[in-house]
Structure 1
């Protein structure tokens, strides 16, 4: 367990103790590695790999495959996460449940880089050392999500990358010349 994992477990326990003691229905949802538009890069985040890779590839920069890109993530598209969250609010079987929300499919970082490279021809891969502390990964069990809501995520990583690349191209058109959400990525160093 990590501090991050411990704080999440504590929050789930407190929710159960607090709301359970006053007979208030609740559902705890655990989101795993969400990707999709309008997500922009987040410094030092291993979960935002689609945004990182698409941003770098769109600028003609190589995609860094730390440790060869063999780390496993449980990537789920924001549209699927939104739908399953709403379903959790109304599903009678979700009453007082804790549910993992993710694709349930183990996806390597390399398997994310490849469809990104297809969207940006000429993209190069650069194998780099695995940074200390970079999680090698895992993915959540999603059988409870599927049984409680009778639903599975529908957007594959390949489809999500296409959606993201199209969105990224559209914001470049709407915010030319280094303005808008990606401005800090285009500005020259002013030091």
Structure 2
């Protein structure tokens, strides 16, 4: 498992990742030359209500698994679910973003926004199954290029913001499940159709 620190050289492997690296460079170049205060934040695996899934997407593990479990569909564990992510609840993301705009120590910094704790995809599935005990796991091959993952190095973030995330993955999953149980329209039609066909 890797820990990614802000000073690690960037080597984007996708257009999406490259656009983020470009945005950081442009922000520093333009605002730095204008002597305007700025901070670049790097969010790790954001999750939480009201996140919903999109057909064909593979992001948003908590939402995918909760929605599939809610509909009685198996939870897919690619590669056995051994990949790890640094899951950060959206409420902590919002708090960190506000602090990054206001904290003097964040000026002209690039900050990871993460928890510094690794949670495997299988761990998430097991947390989901606490709320939906009948949920089944389905092992599938690991897709090509799916990273095994790692965590955020958060020393710079905690020093600059005098703060660290407070919502655990177990609490965040429970909050998401409660929201989903109270918001039936959040379940997308394509997943409803899959569940109906599987019944």
TM-score by length of 1: 0.90
The alpha carbon displacement at 1:135 in A equals 1.6
| Residues 75, 157 of structure 1: 8 Å contact kept | yes
In the TM superposition, what whole-angstrom CA distance separates every residue of 1:21-50 from its partner, at most 9, and x where no partner exists?
111000111111100000001344444000
Q: Equivalent residue of 2:19, what SS?
A: helix
* Deviations 1:111-133, CA, capped at 9 Å, x for gaps: 11111000001111111111112
Q: For residues 92 and 71 of structure 1, what CA distance do their matches in structure 2 show?
A: 36
Q: Provide the C-alpha distance between the structure 2 equivalents of 1:44 and 1:81, rounded to a whole number of angstroms.
A: 25
Structure-2 separation of matches of 1:45 and 1:145 = 30
Cα distance between partner residues in 1 of 2:130 and 2:61: 16
Aligned residue among 110, 113, 118 for 1:106: 118
Could you tell me which runs of 5 or more consecutive residues in structure 2 were left unpaired when the two chains were aligned: 1-10
Q: TM-score under structure 2 normalisation?
A: 0.86
Runs of 4+, deviation exceeding 6 Å: none
Q: Using the alignment, how far apart are the partners of 1:137 and 1:19 within structure 2?
A: 32
* Gapped regions of structure 1 (runs ≥ 5): 173-179
The RMSD of aligned alpha carbons is 1.5
Identify the residue that residue 42 of structure 1 maps to in structure 2. 54
Contact 2:112–2:153 (8 Å) recurs in 1: yes
> What are the equivalent positions in structure 2 for 1:21-170 lying under 5 Å apart?
21-170=33-182
Q: How many residue pairs align between the two structures?
A: 182
